[in-house]
Amino acid sequence: MGSSGASSGGAATPGCHQTPQADDAPTRSGQQTLVQDIAWSPDGAHALLTAPNENAGGMRMLAVDIEGDAPALADEWPLPGVETVAASPYGNAYVVVTADPDGVFQVQSTGESFQAPVAVTLSGPMAQLPFAASVVGRGALRGRVLMAELTGIRQLQLAADGSVTDLGKFAVPSSGPDDLGAILGAMGVTP
């Protein structure tokens, strides 16, 4: 499950990544579903959610418009193995991390519509069991995504034009292939 900031419930702050504990999301059938992870657009008008896909198994992503009296489903895609989602501070893209298959996807948004997820081309080795992502929202590293993987932290850069670039992976130092101490357990980012 995504873990770059578990919430204690209540209202979310727009632009902040939050993992809801028991929030419901609308679906095309009108039924409610448990949300696994959520990332808000910087203006708080839209969100990308991950939730179980009750009909087909696995996971799915839901693009939701928050403006108005009640959240409205804008789009929905099946995507198995979704671990977490993070919003660009520029308001035009989301990064989606999956562990089955291992990978990174990008969802571009104009604010009015969302594009289907597209795989991000990684410049180095393929992702290995990625499980968390945190975005730097301001300053010199604005748009930098730190993505935790099995044995390291990968850096991605979200640009103002909505593109995503892989900047490479920092491997946790290891004393050999049997060194379990090189397996990343958690990641924290200080603002």
Per residue in 119-161, pLDDT tens?
A: 898 887 788 788 888 899 999 999 999 998 888 888 999 999 9
Q: Report CA dihedral (184, 126, 120, 46) to the nearest 10 degrees.
A: -20
Number of domains into which the chain is organized: 1
For residue 144, being part of any structural domain is answered with yes
Domain that holds residue 170: 17-182
Task: Answer whether residue 9 shows pLDDT above 80.
Answer: no
Q: What is the pLDDT of residues 37-95, one digit of tens each?
A: 899 999 888 899 988 877 767 788 889 888 877 888 888 888 888 888 999 999 999 99
- pTM for the model stands at 0.76
Question: Do 132 and 83 contact (CB within 8 A), yes or no?
Answer: yes
Is the residue at 26 inside a domain?
yes
pLDDT score recorded for residue 98: 87
Answer whether residue 188 is part of any domain: no
- Give the domain CATH number at 130: 2.130.10.10
Q: How far apart are the first and last CA of the chain?
A: 22
Domain contains 190: no
